[in-house]
Structure formats: structure tokens, C-alpha cells
Amino acid sequence: RVLFFGVLISAAGAMVLWLLMARRTLARIRGTEERYRLLFDSAADAIVMVDENSGRILDANRTAGAWTGRDPKELLGVDYADLFDKGIVVRKGSTGSGELRGKNGTTRPVETQSSTAVWDTQVVRQAIIRDISERVENERERRVAAEALASIAEGVIIADADRRVLSVNAAATQLTGFTAEQLSGTRLEATRRMADGGPLPATIWDEIVATHHWSGEVESRRRDGSVYPEMLSISTIRDAGQRVLHYVAVFSDISVARADRRRLEHLAAHDALTGLVNRAKFQLHCEEAIARAARDRSAAAVLFIDLDAFKFVNDSYSHSVGDRLLELVGQRIVRQLRAGDIAGRIGGDEFTVLMPGLALREDAATLATRMLAVLSEPFHVDSYEIVLSASIGIAGYPLDGDDAKTLIANADAAMYAAKTEERNAWRFYVPTMQADASHRMVLATELRQALLDEEFQLVYQPSVEMCSGRIVAVEALLRWHHPDRGEVMPGEFIPIAESTGLIHRIDEWVMHAVCAQIRAWDAADLPQIRVAINVSARWFAHPGFIESVRHALQTNAVAPQRVVLEITEGAMLRLGEETERTMRALDALGIGVAIDDFGTGYASMAYLKLPAVAYLKIDGSFVAGLPDSPNDAAITGAMLAMAGSLGLITIAEGIETEGQHDFLSRAGCTEGQGYLYSYPLQPAALERMLRPRKQPAGSKLKLVPPVRS
Ligand code: C2E
Ligand code: MG
Ligand code: MG
């Protein structure tokens, strides 16, 4: 029993000991397990133990629970394959990838790595599931970047730190004509030169080192050797230590943009119609020329060329004809220039020429003379032949001004002087002209007021029959009684009225005033003589012209046969195809037309044959030379014969001497007008003269006191 108890006790002791030991072992095991669990659960990756045979989950860590949106315990017994959206190789192979299912249908891209182990008798697969969202995202970004690079229009070249090409995009191969293989390994700068043709300077790389960037315009060479302008920008990619890893060159062909820019620049500086420089650019050229002349102690001149009455071309032909004409004028001007001269168009029909580095003032005059000659040659536009004339003013540095503005303004003033003195002429600037120019500006404003204030008045100059000395007609001549300046003559204000467009209102006023005067004379029982009215080409070409004339006649009950409209030959030259229609309308109305100042233009027969034309007035400039100038005598004789053969009545203007009268009378001129017979008269003076008893028949008129004192 003792033994029995002894054994029992020792057995119990052993048992206790064993139990104690087992507990310790268990505790140790449990500690290991806990540590293992801790490790297991704190892993950043999801870890799942799977029974290799059934594919069911035996254990899952916390991350696996978090990613699948469940408690890790809930995952026990779940089919491992069900965790994934896309098939994942679990049993075969050690790695796989797919989408792990999360909560509410979300998924995350994962990569799995698995290995098998034997637990007791159980074969267990241990799968580590790694979230690869970031990598997938990076890859996607890289792909997008690569695609973008491939599809952008700019060429992109990536080079290494030695500037050797590593990769190029499609545009780069297209732009350069080289394949990616041909480009790779070559030096980035080898195919490029600066816009001026020189090699890319080393300073570019210094700049890139300093600022990590450079951009500019360069000339790039294509594979076929052709060169194109390129906008090139080079940047660097650096590591954390600021060491250059890569150079990225981005470039594009800017030939189109550059051509556009050049075109814009050209447009900004040139007149679109003629291609000549515009006012602003011309002024710049002048300033340069003046600066150069000041340095070299040489001279420079500006020619201001204005077409005489170009507006009539526009009014009577179409604007497209006018435009074409200006183009041709520009071409003719350019053809006369020396190398270095510059032509500009600075206004509608205003052209300028700059002659830099001029040695002699006379050279400018020579050019002006030549310009006038070529511009008076007929122009052919469409089916029309158009004859123009021009007036030219010349101003030179240093005599007439030392800045561009002054020089141009003074050339303009000289041009104006040329135009008013005689058309188709040139003048050098003289200082009084500038005063004239400002005077004209003032007159232009005052003219407008003059119409309103009725400061205009008409005087009448008789026209006498050569053979009898009888007054057979009068010509109405306009006077402006200026409140301060006194009487202003038409030679002074008509050109201003023409250039400001006021002329047709003035002409209209004259037409009405003459008709009212005729009516008054008729009422006073004066002899019913012809009254000539001067009509500007501007009004003649006006659409309302015929209607306005008819209205004036009608309201004053004046018979159309009583008036003659005078239009100068110079104006006729500029009237287009409308002329014949207007003439026919006048003819239909029963109104006669006189060609005034005949011989100062082209003395063209064509105008004399137009309907309504019944009178020809020989210009006073021919009469002045009679009877001694053989030239004037011959021309006058020829004109009289020509007009006579067409059955026209001829009237010689500006007869001042008996000698002139005798010559013209013998040459067969019908009528004469001039101071020899009478100055232009106030209506009252004319009335006295026209009373039959006061006019001794058959004798020449005595001079009556001039209207102008
Ligand atoms: P025009 O029609 O050729 O007129 C003749 C001009 O010669 C007139 O000048 C007249 O006064 C002047 N004259 C007449 N006899 C002699 C002479 O013996 N010797 C000289 N040296 N001159 C003489 P005026 O009145 O100064 O007119 C100049 C021009 O102005 C006219 O030339 C005409 O073209 C224009 N004009 C005059 N009145 C009007 C008008 O009412 N309307 C328009 N549109 N133009 C007018
Ligand atoms: Mg006249
Ligand atoms: Mg005349």
C-alpha cells in the first residue's frame, strides 16, 4: 500500500510536475502564437492561409479583413478564390495578380505571392496579397505621358547628361526627317544652328546650368538638308543633388508662324493696295535718312506726289478701277526710283518718295520732272484709258526742316502750291508755303460758314461776238465776300472747296442764284442772252446732278436754252463712262455744254463730239502768247479749225489786247471774253451795259471799271 501510495504520490507528483511543465510549455507556445499573431495582424500586406485541398481559408490577418471589409474571423471557411474579382492563380504557380474584392463592390489591384507548408498532416498554402494600386497608377500615368508625348505636335527629344539623344517622339522624327534610330546617340545640338546661321553657342548650356532652362529661335536642319525656323526650348531633369540627369528638348516648326508674323509686320508697315510703305513707316525711313544725312553732312529730300483730282476717277468709274489705278501709279513711281529711294503711299491719292543721301537738290527736281512725265502717260484699267496728272512738292533736309514730320508737311505744302499755280507741275518748298497751308485750313472751315451766311456773290463777265462786238453771253463767276479778308477769288477757294467736298453744294447754290438772276433780268426786260455757269467735275459726276439742274431751272421758270454749263477739259479727262450718259441727259433737257480751258489737257477731239457739247473755250494761256508766239498761234489756229469743223461755237478767253482780238477774229473765232471787252461785272453794272440804247451797235465795248478795286 505504501508502495502503491508511494507510486501514486510520485505519479501525482510527476503528473503535477508534468502539468506544471505542460503549462509552461503551453504558455510558451501561447506566447509564441501571440507573437506570431501580432506579427501576422500587423503586416501591411494581407496574409491568408488556405487549405490546399479544399481551397478554404484557414486563417486571415487583420489587413485581409480590412481590405475585404469583413472581420478576419468571418473569412474562415470562405473559398479563397471568392476574394478576387478577376481570376487569380492560387493553386498553381507562386505568384499571381488580380483584383481583390472590397466592400460595396469596390476592388483594389493586387499581386499575390504564395508558398505551401505542411501543418501536421495538412498542406497549407500561405498567400501574401500585396496592394499594387500605387504602382498601377504610376504605370497608367507613365502610359498617358508616353501617349501624350507620342501624339503632341511638338518634337520632343530626351538626352542624357552628355546631351546624347536617348529617345524621341513621333513629331521629332517627322520634323527632322530622321528616324528614332538615326537620332539616338547623336548630340542634341548637332542638327541645329542659331537663327542667324551660327552654331548654338556654348553659353546656352551655361544658361541651362544656371537657370535649368533655355529657349529661343534656331534654324534646324532636316535630313534632306533643308533648313526650317524652329522654336526650341531645353530644360533639365535633375536629381536631388541638382545633378543633371537628362535634357529635354521641345521644338516646333515656326515657319508658318514666322511667315504670319512677317506678313503682319509687313501689313503694319505697308499699304495693302500698292505694297508701298505707309505713312508711319515712311516717317521712320525719313528719320533714319535725316540722321544719316546729319552724320555724313549730305542731304535728303521728300517728294510729295498728289494725283490731280483723283476723286473723280473714284466717283465716275468704280472704286475697283480707282484701286487698280492707284496700284499702277505706285508701280510707275517705283520704277523711277534710284537704289535706296523709298516710295510710300500716305493717303488716298498721296504718294511720297524719300531720296536719302542726296548730293544735289537738283536731283530731286529731275526725279520730279520724270515722275510727272510717266504719270501723265495714259493708264489702262479694264477697258478704260485713264489720263491723270499729278502735282509734286519737294522739301529737303537740311534746308526745309530737320525732322521727318516737318519735311513731309513742307513737301505737302509745296505740292499744294504746285497744284494751285498750275497742275502737272512740281515746286520746291519755300517758307511762305507753310503759312499758306495753315491759311487754307482756316479757309476750309470758314467756307462752310460762308454758305450759311450767304457770303457768296456772282459777277458776270460778258462774252462778245468777235465780228460785231455785241454782248451775246455772260459767264457767271463766283466771289466770296469774306467779312475780314474782303473779296476772295475762286482760284483761292475753289480748290479748297473741291478737296473738302463742299464744292457741289457751292455749285448748286450758283446754279440756283444764276437761275434767279435770269428770271429777274427777264422780268426787267433785258435782252435774253446766254448765261454760262461753271460746273465742277465733282458736281457733274454727282448722281443728283441732272435732277438738281432741272429743279433750279424749273423753280425759276428758266428755259434750258438760256444756260450753258462750263466744264473744264481737265475735269472731262477724269470723268468716266458716266460722262456720256450725263451729257445725253443734258442734251435731252436742251442744255448746252462748253468745254472750258480747252488745250490745257489733252485737247482730245473725243470730248468735242459728245452730245450737248456746243461750245469750246480756248484757254487764256494760249491767247496770252498771241499774236507773236508762233507756237500759240499755230495751236490756237488748229483748235479753231478743229472746233469749226465740228460746228462748235468757239470762245477765246483772256483777251486783253487789240492784237489778240485781231488775230482771233481773223482765225475765225466766234466769240471773245477778256478785260479788253469787260471785266467781270456786278449785276447792276451789267444791266446798264445790256440796256440796248447804251450799247453802240457794231463797235467794240469800252473798258468798264473793274469789279475788283
Ligand atoms: P474760268 O471759268 O476759265 O473763268 C475765267 C477766268 O479768267 C475768271 O477768273 C476771269 O475773271 C478771268 N479773266 C477774264 N478775262 C480775263 C483777262 O482778260 N485776263 C485775265 N488774266 N483773266 C481774265 P476767276 O473769276 O478768278 O475764276 C477762276 C476760275 O474759277 C474760273 O475759270 C472757273 O474755273 C472757276 N470758277 C469761277 N466761278 C466758279 C463757280 O461759280 N463754280 C465753279 N465750280 N468754278 C468757278
Ligand atoms: Mg469758265
Ligand atoms: Mg476758262
Share of residues in the chain with pLDDT > 90 (%): 49
- 462 has which bridge partners? 474
The pLDDT mean for the chain works out to 88
Substitution site in 536, 653, 677 for ligand 1 pocket (most atoms within 8 Å of beta carbon): 653
Indicate whether 703 pLDDT > 60: no
Which atom of ligand 1 sits closest to the CA of residue 497? 44
Spatial separation of the C-alpha atoms in residues 467 and 482, rounded to whole Å: 39
Indicate whether 273 pLDDT > 60: yes
Indicate whether 35 pLDDT > 80: yes
Instruction: Enumerate residues with CB within 5 Å of ligand 3 (an ion).
Output: 596-597, 653
Mean pLDDT of 579-605: 87
Cis peptide bond upstream of 229, omega within 30: no
Give the DSSP H or E segment for 209. Answer: helix 203-211
Q: How confident is the model at residue 93 (pLDDT cuts 50, 70, 90)?
A: low
Mean pLDDT of 608-632: 92
Ligand 3 centroid to residue 595 C-alpha, Å: 9
Indicate whether 318 pLDDT > 90: no
Ligand 2 centroid to residue 4 C-alpha, Å: 171
Instruction: Record the cell numbers describing residue 517, joined without a space.
Output: 438772276
Ligand 1 centroid to residue 617 C-alpha, Å: 12
The closest residue, in CA terms, to atom 25 on ligand 1 is 477
The closest residue, in CA terms, to atom 27 on ligand 1 is 490
Q: How confident is the model at residue 709 (pLDDT cuts 50, 70, 90)?
A: very low
The closest residue, in CA terms, to atom 23 on ligand 1 is 654
Do residues 573 and 390 touch, judged by C-beta distance below 8 A? no
User: Which range is least confidently modeled, 4-8, 282-286, 465-469?
Assistant: 4-8
pLDDT per position as a tens digit, 335-392:
999 999 999 999 889 999 999 988 788 899 999 999 999 999 999 998 888 888 899 9
Which atom of ligand 1 sits closest to the CA of residue 655? 18
Q: Is the CB of 600 under 6 A from ligand 1?
A: no
Spatial separation of the C-alpha atoms in residues 412 and 644, rounded to whole Å: 42
Q: Is the CB of 508 under 6 A from ligand 1?
A: no
From the CA of 597, which ligand is nearest?
A: 3
Ligand 2 centroid to residue 654 C-alpha, Å: 11
Q: What global pTM score does this model have? A: 0.54
Alpha helices for 43-169 (secondary structure H): 62-68, 133-151
- 463 has which bridge partners? 473
pLDDT per position as a tens digit, 673-689:
999 999 999 999 999 99
Mean pLDDT of 581-595: 95
Phi, psi dihedral angles at 182 (to 5 degrees): -65, -35
Task: Identify the pLDDT of residue 704.
Answer: 45
The closest residue, in CA terms, to atom 20 on ligand 1 is 654
Q: Is the CB of 674 under 6 A from ligand 1?
A: yes
Q: How confident is the model at residue 574 (pLDDT cuts 50, 70, 90)?
A: low
Distance of CA 280 to the CA centre of its chain: 13
Q: Is the CB of 492 under 6 A from ligand 1?
A: no
Substitution site in 456, 534, 676 for ligand 1 pocket (most atoms within 8 Å of beta carbon): 534
In 3D, which of 688, 651, 642 has the Cα closest to residue 532?
Answer: 651
The closest residue, in CA terms, to atom 41 on ligand 1 is 478
Q: Is the CB of 461 under 6 A from ligand 1?
A: yes
Q: Is the CB of 654 under 6 A from ligand 1?
A: yes
Ligand 2 centroid to residue 596 C-alpha, Å: 6
Q: Is the CB of 189 under 6 A from ligand 1?
A: no
Which atom of ligand 1 sits closest to the CA of residue 459? 25
For 622, residues 6+ apart whose C-beta sits below 8 A from its C-beta are 599, 632, 635, 636, 639
Q: Is the CB of 502 under 6 A from ligand 1?
A: no
Q: What is the CA radius of gyration of the chain?
A: 52
Give the DSSP H or E segment for 235. Answer: strand 227-238
Ligand 2 centroid to residue 55 C-alpha, Å: 123
Task: Identify the pLDDT of residue 694.
Answer: 45
Query: Is residue 705 helix, strand or coil?
Result: coil
Q: Is the CB of 491 under 6 A from ligand 1?
A: yes
Torsion of CA 155, 161, 165, 166, to 10 degrees: -90
Task: Identify the pLDDT of residue 576.
Answer: 62
Q: Is the CB of 463 under 6 A from ligand 1?
A: no
Spatial separation of the C-alpha atoms in residues 664 and 681, rounded to whole Å: 24
Q: How confident is the model at residue 633 (pLDDT cuts 50, 70, 90)?
A: very high
Using a 10 angstrom Cβ sphere, with 0-12 exposed, 13-18 middle and 19 or more buried, the burial of residue 334 is middle
Do residues 331 and 380 touch, judged by C-beta distance below 8 A? no
Indicate whether 442 pLDDT > 80: yes
Indicate whether 445 pLDDT > 90: no
β-pairing, 563-568 vs 592-598, is: parallel
Q: Is the CB of 596 under 6 A from ligand 1?
A: yes
Mean pLDDT of 643-662: 95
Mean pLDDT of 654-659: 96
The closest residue, in CA terms, to atom 17 on ligand 1 is 654
Task: Identify the pLDDT of residue 692.
Answer: 63
Task: Identify the pLDDT of residue 189.
Answer: 81
User: Which range is least confidently modeled, 29-38, 44-53, 152-161, 699-708?
Assistant: 699-708
Indicate whether 697 pLDDT > 60: no
The closest residue, in CA terms, to atom 43 on ligand 1 is 534
Beta strands in 334-389 (DSSP E): 342-347, 350-358, 379-381, 384-386
Q: How confident is the model at residue 88 (pLDDT cuts 50, 70, 90)?
A: low
User: Which range is least confidently modeled, 317-321, 397-401, 572-576, 641-645?
Assistant: 572-576
Do residues 148 and 169 touch, judged by C-beta distance below 8 A? no
From the CA of 673, which ligand is nearest?
A: 1
